[in-house]
Amino acid sequence: MSPIAYSALGHRAQPPTIARLMTLMLENPKLLSIAAGFTDTKTLPVSVVQAAVDTLARREGDPEYLQYGTNQGRPKLRALLADRLLALETPSDADAVRKNVFVTNGSQQALYLAMQVLCDPGDIVLVDRPSYFVYLEMLAGLGVQTRSLPVDAAGRIDGPALRTLLADMRKTGELSRLKAVYFVSYFSNPSARSLDETEKNAIASALTEAGAIVPVLEDAAYRELYYERPHPARSVLSLPSWSAFPRLYFSTLTKTFASGLKVGYGTSSDAGLLAKMLHVKGHHDFGTANYNQALLEEVITQGGLDAQLAVIRAAYLRKMHALHGALVEAGLASLGWTWTVPEGGLYLWLTAPASLDTGLDAAFCRACVDAGVLYVPGELCFGHDAPKNHIRLSFGVLGEADLAEAGRRFTGVAKRFA
Amino acid sequence: MSPIAYSALGHRAQPPTIARLMTLMLENPKLLSIAAGFTDTKTLPVSVVQAAVDTLARREGDPEYLQYGTNQGRPKLRALLADRLLALETPSDADAVRKNVFVTNGSQQALYLAMQVLCDPGDIVLVDRPSYFVYLEMLAGLGVQTRSLPVDAAGRIDGPALRTLLADMRKTGELSRLKAVYFVSYFSNPSARSLDETEKNAIASALTEAGAIVPVLEDAAYRELYYERPHPARSVLSLPSWSAFPRLYFSTLTKTFASGLKVGYGTSSDAGLLAKMLHVKGHHDFGTANYNQALLEEVITQGGLDAQLAVIRAAYLRKMHALHGALVEAGLASLGWTWTVPEGGLYLWLTAPASLDTGLDAAFCRACVDAGVLYVPGELCFGHDAPKNHIRLSFGVLGEADLAEAGRRFTGVAKRFA
């Protein structure tokens, strides 16, 4: 048989690093995984879903919810999602934001569509540092390069350093290949940080000064997953500093309600950009499963999403403390490891002593697997110049007792490498 | 605001022609549409779905079906789908076919993934004539060119003409850009034809002779939608003439069960090709909605899919006769129009007298809209050299009375243009 002649994209398509983590899991069934960004299984909304399905089944008329839907998404669901977003903040162009709500197969597909219509291979995207590693792997698959938004020692956006970076990119001719800027802005995957308005404004002002008015992609997947109170920063949809930029805002009902339904959503300040993305979505699948959208429409209408959010906010706070507490109690901080206690989201972002290599092939990682605990190496979360001494831990899936045990095992290994 | 610098793909992304049909529908609410390839709404399996959801809700243990699933698809669903496929025919490499079953967002996404990993802009795909127009629009969006598999006056594959075409492509250097061959093989959209084994063998033998051992994509979306008996032809998975080719086989649970669940599936003879497609699916969405797959797993296990197929086979036969009968009774055949009575699927493929232009901008189409009936112009179903005198009618959605009325309106217009 002749070898298959793949496309350039086909040649670039490589097994994701996460596949190696999955293999480690399968080979070591007793591993406690604080690697995967999966959500809490115990609190999944079984009865809320069943109630919504029953309501659909009792509806008068044809069961259109089992029929094909529309490419952009169900009008009523889109209106409900717009209402929720507009309850959080007041965009200057609220009508456009409302009209341009779209529904995708998780927010992942929306990111893919945006990158497809904006970037050719060799183009450049500015990303946060650290950034969402599945997005970084997607960019690599599309042949798109990254530059990091510079941060200071505290992990905050460094405006002056960004100005220097953009000036350097202008000198080398790279600025003309800069096609978008991306960041996870609330309780970030992986850093657990939120960007405050000063930081968001600093990015906008450096780009404006450089004349680089490129589309901005704000990934707000975890915005509603705060523990006690929402983060106060407005999004790019409302901040005046971003008003001249084409803006895309991404969110999801996977992390907040049920990842098994795989429904994400977003909106755009720019109808033309959205139209391009939807044309390509027409080619991908001509619409996210209509049934799932109808179901979520019912769930939101019946108050099931807010009820679920109340449950999981409390659950993730408890689970965060179970893992964080175990690390503290076992003495990880005294070994020179640092991290910030999150106020939302599913992750702890650890910084190890600078000399420790936490990569997948390093002795530390193998020792953790041998000790029965698996994590995500922080090096995956950087588009380039990846430091080796970060680790992402997730308290999404495991229960509190397992999280405490995982924390003890992890710290035990850290002690041996101290 | 600066104009957005789109990618090459972004520039190619154009509103699909179907959007113009949708606009016509919205502007003319009294139109009877025999255009859309939607499925029958009255027979959608409400109680079967509800029973499956109840079974899931009563399951012991964690509700993992509301959690993220795997990228390739749920193992049990994949096994069930493999069983069904292997009950239809006996591939030489049954183990590979079983192992390589994958699940996608409708079969549309699988086609997109295959084209992404196989074709660069400017590459060429051989397509059936006529072909599935959403696939043709996808190819245009990806910058991929088409050549048609030559057919004789009866619409059957013309082997000698294909040999000549491939020889010509060799002379012009185009053969090296030929990356795949695609056809809808059972009760086709749009032609309602099935390819018999002689025709499939003729394609394989011409390609083999030309040394063009490129991946073949067999789209079997309508295979199970026969009215009285399955079409006897084996697929490329089992025909010895195709055994040297990398083979992809696509099917779906949308048309056969519920389009609202948007679950398609397929398999591949080639693990390497599948792996590439799955890497890209990891970037699109890292897995089709796990809930929908769990639901369909239950449906198939409980016998709900076969029960639904029994219902809709009878329903589509009745509906086909309602439309076909109305056209015959109103005298369309005596005006020089020809068509074949389908033995499965959702479509009638009409050939008008050669001089009649049925395109979207033609007087005939406008007259039909004025008379309250909408169809799909056949010209959309050709990658190039589109004849103007074909029409696709769908009896998928409307009930029998509406189909009869639509047939009368349509024939009334045809009489005025005779």
Of A39, A106, A279, the CB nearest to B13: A279
d(CA B353, CA B350): 10
Query: Residue B1 pLDDT more than 70?
Result: no
- Is residue B21 within 8 A of residue B35, CB to CB? The reply is yes
Tell me the shortest Cα–Cα distance from B279 to chain A, in angstroms.
6
Does the pLDDT at position A23 exceed 90?
Answer: no
Q: What is the pLDDT at residue B2?
A: 64
Average pLDDT over residues B37-50: 93
Task: Give the Cα separation of B304 and B298 in Å (integer).
Answer: 8
Give the N- to C-terminal CA distance of chain A in Å, as an integer.
54
- Whether residues B213 and A108 touch (CB distance < 8 A) is answered with no
pLDDT-based confidence at B64, cuts 50/70/90? Answer: very high
pLDDT digits (tens, 9 = 90+) for A379-418: 999 999 999 999 999 999 999 999 999 999 999 999 999 9
- Predicted local distance difference test score (pLDDT) of residue A321: 98
Name the amino acid, one letter, at A78. Answer: R
- The pLDDT tens digits for B100-120 are 999 999 999 999 999 999 999
For the purposes of burial, counting CB atoms within 10 Å of the CB of B354, is it exposed (0-12), middle (13-18) or buried (19 or more)?
exposed
In the numeric block, the tokens 């799955």 are attached to B278
**pLDDT tens-place string over residues A258-317:** 999 999 999 999 999 999 999 999 999 999 999 999 999 999 999 999 999 999 999 999
Q: Does the beta carbon of B417 lie under 8 angstroms from any beta carbon of chain A?
A: no
Question: How much is the average pLDDT of A176-181?
Answer: 98
Structural contact between residues B381 and B390, judged by C-beta atoms closer than 8 angstroms: yes
Alpha helices by DSSP H, listed for A59-184, are 75-88, 94-99, 106-118, 133-141, 159-172
The 10s digit of each residue's pLDDT in B355-400 is 999 999 999 999 999 999 999 999 999 999 999 999 999 999 999 9
- Which A positions 221-260 lie with beta carbon below 8 A of chain B? 244-246, 254, 258-260
DSSP 8-state assignment for residue A402 = H
CB B238 within 8 A of CB B220: no
Give the minimum alpha-carbon distance from A350 to chain B in angstroms, rounded to a whole number. Answer: 25
Cis peptide before B150 (omega within 30 of 0): no
Q: How far apart are CA A376 and CA A393, in angstroms?
A: 7
Model-level pTM?
0.97
Interchain pair A68, B9: CB under 8 A: no
Place of tokens 């406008």: B366
**Closest listed residue to residue A276, CA positions, set B15, B110, B312:** B15
| Residue A152, number of CB atoms within 10 A of its CB | 11
Residue A25 has pLDDT above 90, yes or no: no
How far is residue B179's CA from residue B198's CA, in Å, rounded to a whole number? 23
Domains of chain B in start order, with CATH, are 10-39+307-416 (3.90.1150.10), 50-301 (3.40.640.10)
In angstroms, the CA A260 to CA B268 distance is 26
SS (H, E, C) A300-340: HHCCHHHHHHHHHHHHHHHHHHHHHHHHHHHCCHHHCCECC
pLDDT at A192 > cutoff 80? yes
pLDDT at A104: 98
Helix (H) or strand (E) holding A124: strand A124-127
Measured between alpha carbons, how far is B305 from B314 in angstroms, rounded to an integer?
14
**Residue B24 pLDDT more than 70?**
yes
H/E/C letters for each residue in A17-57? HHHHHHHHHHHCCCCEECCCCCCCCCCCCHHHHHHHHHHHH
- CB of A272 within 8 A of CB of A100? no
Nearest to A188 by CA among A44, A356, A348: A348
C-alpha–C-alpha distance, residues B244 and B246, integer Å: 7
CA distances from A325 to A128, A352, A404, A407 (A): 28, 17, 8, 8
Instruction: Flag whether pLDDT at A2 surpasses 70.
Output: no
For A250, B108, B261, the CA distances from B294, given in Å and listed in that order, are: 27, 20, 11
The verdict on a CB contact (< 8 Å) between A179 and B7 is: yes
Taking only Cα atoms into account, the Rg of chain A, rounded to an integer number of angstroms, comes to 22
Determine contact: B339 vs chain A, CB below 8 A: no
B285/A275 CB distance under 8 A: no
* Torsion region of A214: left, alpha or beta (phi above 0 gives left; psi -120 to 50 gives alpha): beta
Kindly state the DSSP code that residue B221 receives in the 8-state scheme.
T
| Reported confidence tier of residue A17, pLDDT bands at 50, 70, 90 | confident
| CA–CA distance, B310 with B157 (Å, rounded to integer) | 31
Alpha-carbon gap, residue A262 to B292, rounded angstroms: 10
Beta bridge partners of A181: A126, A216
Nearest CA in chain B to A269: B1
B308-322 pLDDT tens trace: 999 999 999 999 999
* B16 to chain A: closest CA residue: A279
C-beta atoms of A5 and B214 within 8 A: yes
Closest to B411 measured CA to CA, from B341, B303, B324, B297: B324
Tell me the C-alpha distance between B213 and A1, whole Å.
Answer: 8
> Which residue among B137, B244, B272 places its CB closest to the CB of A4?
B272
**Is the pLDDT reported for residue A133 higher than 70?**
yes
In sequence order, which residues have a C-beta less than 8 Å from that of residue B162 and are 6 or more positions away?
Answer: B149, B150, B202, B203, B206
Q: Does B75 touch chain A (CB under 8 A)?
A: no
Beta bridge partners of A216: A181, A247
Please spell the DSSP secondary structure of B118-159, one letter per residue.
Answer: H--TT-EEEE-SS--HHHHHHHHHTT-EEEEPPB-TTS-B-H
Residue carrying structure tokens 């430091």: A387
Is B260–A294 a contact, with Cβ atoms under 8 angstroms apart?
A: yes
Average pLDDT, chain B: 96
pLDDT average, residue stretch B11-35:
85
The 8-class DSSP code of residue A79 comes to H
**Testing the interface with A: which of B279, B281, B288 to mutate, by most A Cβ within 10 A?**
B279
Which residues of A are less than 8 Å from B142 in CB distance? 283
- Coil, helix or strand for A268? strand
Instruction: Kindly list the strands in the beta sheet with A178-184, ordered across the sheet, starting from the edge strand earlier in the chain.
Output: A102-104, A264-268, A247-252, A216-219, A178-184, A124-127, A145-148
3-state secondary structure of A102: strand
Grade residue B29 by pLDDT with cuts at 50, 70 and 90: confident
0.90 surpassed by complex ipTM:
yes
Distance of CA B137 to the CA centre of its chain: 13
Nearest to A105 by CA among A345, A266, A236: A266
Q: Is B166 exposed, middle or buried (0-12, 13-18, 19+ CB in 10 A)?
A: buried
**Which residues in chain B are contacts of A297 at CB distance < 8 A?**
none
pLDDT tens digits along A38-94 = 899 999 999 999 999 999 999 988 999 999 999 999 999 999 999 999 999 999 899
With both helix axes pointing from N to C terminus, report the angle between B400-416 and B363-371 in degrees, rounded to the nearest 10: 140
CA separation for the pair B335, A132 (Å, rounded): 63
Chain A CB contacts of B294 under 8 Å are 260
Cβ-defined contact of A246 to B179 (cutoff 8 Å)? no
Alpha-carbon gap, residue A389 to A387, rounded angstroms? 6
Crossing angle between the packed helical segments B304-330 and B46-58, to the nearest 10 degrees? 170
- Model pLDDT, residue B26: 77
Residue A101 predicted with pLDDT over 60: yes
Question: How is residue A71 annotated by DSSP?
Answer: S
Residue among A137, A161, A190 at smallest CA distance from A342: A190
